[in-house]
Structure 1
Amino acid sequence: MSNQTGSDDLYVGCKAYNGTDTSYGYIPSGAAGSAFCVLFGVSMVAHIVQFCWKRTWWCSVFAVGCFVELLGWAARKWSADCPYNSTAFLIQISTLIIAPVFFTAGIYILLGRYIQIFGKETSFLTPKLYLWIFCTCDVISLVIQAAGGGIASSESDDPNGNTDPGTNTMVAGIVFQLISISVFVYCGTDFFLRIKRFGQLKMFTRGPLAALTSAMILSVVCIYIRSIYRTIELAQGWTGYLITHESYFIGLDGVMMIIAVGVFNVCHPGWLLPSKAEISLPQYQKTSTNSDVEMG
């Protein structure tokens, strides 16, 4: 994970850059660290205000994810000032690798809410079973990635340590997350095909549901891109091309994640997600070609 040349105390405290390789393979950008701290901080505060105002407590997962991202980018800002500090390096690894799990949890819950509103016939899984399965997958992914990070971190403290087992474990956790997202996409596609069959698809092509569904799709795409990038990055190893070039990390992790969570500040479920009772109101029913469909 790092080239620990010289004394181990080089990697504690705040040492100025002296030409020795850092654990990153570069000196992290302080400007990028500050910018993403601000962006995720603003998104976190906005999410807290929004879910408290609308009492959509399940949306707190977005705020938690923002907080974890904030910690990670703060650690990278710390590394910009103290490039050899091992604590800052390990904090950003552990936080930024697991933060998206909270965003996917929110997206899974959102589709579950769709199923609750439009009826159990719109899914081959019940809403409760649906949430249990995918949230459990998130927890499993989180545990695997955290375990891998812990193994790699402990090995990195030893100049002769082997970080490969920890790295491979982290890759396994990300791949597992990627698979669970892929299954989610399948379930989401099945939901909308059933909605179309029941004559309710027009509700999702205009108005609040169109905006919220578009936000969900955009968020999933961003998380997908990030997961593919992190899989390839870690598979290349700690000295690979992607992991030692910060521009890829900023663009394919930082930017993707702020879009993935920030889009729900703009299209917040508390404002746009109707209740089951509201679906029967004229403004929703007039968009449907079949208002006699049983809503469950």
Structure 2
Amino acid sequence: MAQSCDALTAPNTQWNFCPNIAAAYLFLVLFAITTITHVFQAIFYKKAYCWVIIISGLAQTICYIFRVLSIKNPAVFGDYAAWFILILIAPLFTNAFVYMVMGRMVWNYISAAKIFRITAWRLGTLFVVLDVFAFIIQVYGAASASGNNQTTAQVLKGLHIYMGGVGIQQAFILLFFVFAFKFHRTYLAESRHTTTANSPLPLLYTLYTVLILITIRIIFRLCEYSQGLNSKIPNHEAFQYCLDSLPMFLALVLLNIIHPGRVMAGKESNIPGRKERKSKQLYTKTDRESLGENLQVLSA
């Protein structure tokens, strides 16, 4: 405990409470393990789009590297600012990955390859763009709040901007749930007449759970500074570990267990690029299946 409390008593310390270095080391290791697993899974399943979830895990791993460094060097502003910003923005990549996976699920499991008249390749792109919009706001707010020699008013202004970005992120998540539920209903209706090799339902339930975990984190972040810098929540790190880092770690682990590359395996499950879709007239699941049947006939 004495070593941890040095972070609070050191001259020019950046800390307002006594951080637990053992907990920081623990989550550093946990995030590193799940991130390395995601790297191997992306290579094994040959899914290039998995770089997004790898970035999420890597950012959260680096976050805890800087947190450990900041605890050991409490007067160094750069280390403190790095972990502070990374822990706020890293989960957005997990959110974006969920959107990308849903677009691929629509392509692979819905005959028309669209939901609410939005095609599979545009669905994922649309929500990723919205996620980037929330990301920019959150980065700006977090960077403003973590600036050196900031007044309390300036820090609070930055945090309020960040909280606005978090609120926008949650609004997009709620909108996404509408599309996810529509996918769910459409798939169940179509599956009565057709069969698929791998059911998307385990992956869909995983995405639901991941979004719920992200929502828990968002609610925590909205409450964290709602009463100012001196409220109980930001000055007790147990809240951060239980309501931010733990949910985000569980989200990464769930996507390790039910990996999209295992459910939607093979190159044929990838959404073709614009040129390929146009040249081969691949706009629906039926088009893709017809092309496969024609190729089998020609090869025979």
**What interval of TM-score do these two structures reach, taking the shorter chain for normalisation?**
0.7 to 0.9
- SS at 1:28 equivalent: coil
Output one character per residue of 1:258-285: Cα deviation in whole Å (capped at 9) or x when no partner: 011111111111112256978xxxxxxx
Assess, with a 3 A threshold, how the Cα gap between structure 1 residues 16 and 271 changes in structure 2: closer, same or farther: closer
- SS at 1:163 equivalent: helix
Counterpart in 1 of 2:134?
A: 141
Confirm or deny: 8 A CA contact 1:43 1:265 kept in the other structure: yes
Confirm or deny: 8 A CA contact 2:137 2:162 kept in the other structure: yes
Assess, with a 3 A threshold, how the Cα gap between structure 1 residues 201 and 80 changes in structure 2: closer, same or farther: farther
Output one character per residue of 1:39-85: Cα deviation in whole Å (capped at 9) or x when no partner: 11111111111111211111111110011101111122123223333
Identity of aligned residues (%): 23
* Distance of 1:179 and 1:219 partners within structure 2: 16
Is structure 2 residue 183 aligned with structure 1 residue 191?
Answer: yes
Counterpart in 2 of 1:46?
A: 37
* Distance of 2:97 and 2:193 partners within structure 1: 23
Assess, with a 3 A threshold, how the Cα gap between structure 1 residues 167 and 17 changes in structure 2: closer, same or farther: closer
From 80, 91, 95, the counterpart of 2:82 = 91
Give the RMSD, CA atoms, in angstroms: 2.7
- SS at 2:146 equivalent: helix
Could you list the runs of 5+ residues in structure 2 that have no partner in the other structure? 1-5, 270-284, 288-300
Counterpart in 1 of 2:143?
A: 150
From 61, 86, 91, the counterpart of 1:70 = 61
Assess, with a 3 A threshold, how the Cα gap between structure 1 residues 160 and 258 changes in structure 2: closer, same or farther: closer
Q: Higher mean Cα deviation, 18-27 or 246-255?
A: 18-27
Assess, with a 3 A threshold, how the Cα gap between structure 1 residues 127 and 160 changes in structure 2: closer, same or farther: closer
What letter matches 1:165 in structure 2? Answer: K
Confirm or deny: 8 A CA contact 1:28 1:76 kept in the other structure: no
* Distance of 1:208 and 1:190 partners within structure 2: 16
* Distance of 2:152 and 2:186 partners within structure 1: 56
Counterpart in 1 of 2:254?
A: 263
Counterpart in 1 of 2:112?
A: 120
TM-score after normalising by structure 2: 0.80
Counterpart in 1 of 2:173?
A: 181
Counterpart in 2 of 1:272?
A: 263
Assess, with a 3 A threshold, how the Cα gap between structure 1 residues 16 and 28 changes in structure 2: closer, same or farther: closer
- SS at 2:17 equivalent: coil
Confirm or deny: 8 A CA contact 2:100 2:125 kept in the other structure: no
Confirm or deny: 8 A CA contact 1:28 1:83 kept in the other structure: no
* Distance of 1:213 and 1:88 partners within structure 2: 38
Confirm or deny: 8 A CA contact 1:212 1:273 kept in the other structure: no
What letter matches 1:225 in structure 2? Answer: I
Assess, with a 3 A threshold, how the Cα gap between structure 1 residues 16 and 171 changes in structure 2: closer, same or farther: closer
Could you list the runs of 5+ residues in structure 1 that have no partner in the other structure? 1-14, 279-293
From 157, 165, 175, the counterpart of 1:165 = 157
Counterpart in 2 of 1:8?
A: none
What letter matches 2:21 in structure 1? Answer: G
* Distance of 1:241 and 1:16 partners within structure 2: 19
Counterpart in 2 of 1:61?
A: 52
Displaced runs of 4+ in structure 1, greater than 6 A?
201-204, 275-278
Confirm or deny: 8 A CA contact 2:101 2:124 kept in the other structure: no
Counterpart in 2 of 1:27?
A: 18
What letter matches 1:116 in structure 2? Answer: W
Assess, with a 3 A threshold, how the Cα gap between structure 1 residues 200 and 173 changes in structure 2: closer, same or farther: farther
- What count of residue pairs does the alignment treat as equivalent? 265
- SS at 2:121 equivalent: helix
Counterpart in 1 of 2:235?
A: 244
